[in-house]
């Protein structure tokens, strides 16, 4: 078995295709022994892919774009969260964006990820950072939920199904970002281009397992929910709601691919908010290499035929 290290963010529902591939033996079928390492700081994921401590990362897509702006060699090879599965959740008592003046919003990172979305959502309601509200880097979904409950932040993006947990507990939804941004590539499967080129067969094998996991997820509600409960600890009723919403809106791509429209939306929003001296690219193809996914899909379809 070939050993691979995969870095990803936190133990949240975003990782379900990876856990499916592990639980169902799809990685093992490809001769891969994949260690999935989870990290709370989103920057840790991209740093580990960049310096080789992790071979593959499932992390925030904007970080790949920012890496390219800095002359780096990271590239997107597959999709993960192609549509935004969030509510902007506020503490009870905060009912509108105007109520957030002078308050603090928890974000995954000040440099990438949820901060871009938050700034755009607030700007649409006439509030500007840093004059009208504060951003605090607190990490991903689980960390934000803990700090919301503790009252240390007043709002933050909460992903499915924790958004439903929060709403049922009396918290407020200020916005559903998917309504403002129907397409948005939030997270993706990313590699260092140089490593991937030297290990092409391994990357194609990994993508074969991932494609199988995505296809299986859509066809097996109850079994996928079993895995979600085991890995995240979310009550089964909420995990079932997550599967229903993820499949209805195709938040996970059925084919494990990124969406050009979603990547373009991310590029456009990032360029509006980030003070970038130059752009390494302006189109999805500048950041995406589909050759590994195409090879994997072709081989799988040939086996079926």
CA torsion, ordered 23, 145, 76, 25, to nearest 10 deg: 0
DSSP annotation of 241 reads H
DSSP annotation of 153 reads -
Cα–Cα distance list, 148 to 158, 216, 242 (Å): 10, 35, 21
- Whether residue 84 contacts residue 178, with contact meaning beta carbons closer than 8 Å, is answered with yes
Distance CA 201, CA 218 (A): 26
- Mark the ranges of the chain whose per-residue pLDDT is less than 50: 275-277
Tokens of 247: 């499949």
Distance CA 174, CA 167 (A): 11
Tokens of 283: 């189109």
Instruction: Give all strands (DSSP E) within 22-146, no chain letters.
Output: 32-39, 56-60, 74-81, 86-90, 104-107, 134-137
- All structural domains of the chain: 2-83+184-304 (3.40.190.10), 86-180 (3.40.190.10)
DSSP annotation of 185 reads -
Strands 32-39 and 56-60 turn out to be: unpaired
pTM comes to 0.92
Instruction: Give all strands (DSSP E) within 70-212, no chain letters.
Output: 74-81, 86-90, 104-107, 134-137, 155-159, 172-175, 187-192
pLDDT of residue 116: 80
| Helix H or strand E encompassing 17 | helix 16-23
pLDDT of residue 212: 98
**Complete edge-to-edge strand list for the sheet that includes strand 86-90:** 134-137, 104-107, 155-159, 86-90, 172-175
Dihedral pair phi/psi, residue 263, rounded to 5°: -65, -40
pLDDT of residue 113: 67
pLDDT in tens, 258-304: 999 999 988 887 765 554 445 555 788 899 999 999 999 999 988 86
């Amino acid at each position: 078995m070939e050993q691979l290290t995969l870095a990803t963010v936190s133990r949240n529902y975003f990782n379900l295709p990876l856990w499916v591939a592990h639980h169902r033996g799809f990685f093992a079928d490809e001769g891969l022994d994949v260690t999935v390492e989870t990290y709370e700081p989103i920057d840790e994921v991209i740093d580990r892919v960049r310096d080789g401590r992790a071979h593959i990362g499932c992390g925030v897509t904007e970080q790949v774009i920012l890496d390219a702006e800095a002359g780096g060699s990271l590239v997107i090879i597959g999709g993960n969260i192609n549509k935004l599965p969030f509510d902007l959740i506020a503490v009870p008592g905060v009912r509108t964006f105007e109520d957030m003046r002078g308050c603090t919003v928890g974000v995954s990172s000040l440099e990438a990820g949820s901060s871009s979305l938050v700034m755009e959502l607030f700007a649409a309601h006439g509030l500007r950072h840093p004059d009208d509200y504060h951003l605090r880097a607190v990490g991903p979904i689980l960390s934000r939920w803990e700090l919301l409950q503790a009252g240390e932040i007043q709002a933050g993006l909460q992903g499915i199904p924790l958004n439903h947990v929060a709403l049922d507990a009396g918290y407020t939804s200020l916005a559903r970002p998917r309504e403002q941004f129907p397409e948005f590539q939030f997270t993706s499967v990313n590699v260092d281009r140089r490593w991937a080129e030297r290990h092409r067969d391994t990357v194609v094998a990994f993508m074969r397992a991932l494609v199988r996991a995505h296809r299986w997820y859509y066809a097996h509600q109850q079994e996928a929910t079993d895995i979600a409960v085991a890995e995240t600890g979310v009550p089964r009723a909420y995990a079932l709601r997550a599967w229903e919403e993820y499949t209805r809106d195709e938040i996970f791509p059925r084919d494990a691919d990124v969406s050009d429209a979603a990547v373009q939306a991310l590029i456009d929003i990032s360029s509006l908010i980030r003070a970038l001296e130059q752009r390494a690219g302006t189109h999805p193809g500048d950041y995406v290499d589909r050759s590994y996914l195409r090879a994997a899909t072709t081989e799988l379809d040939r086996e079926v035929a």
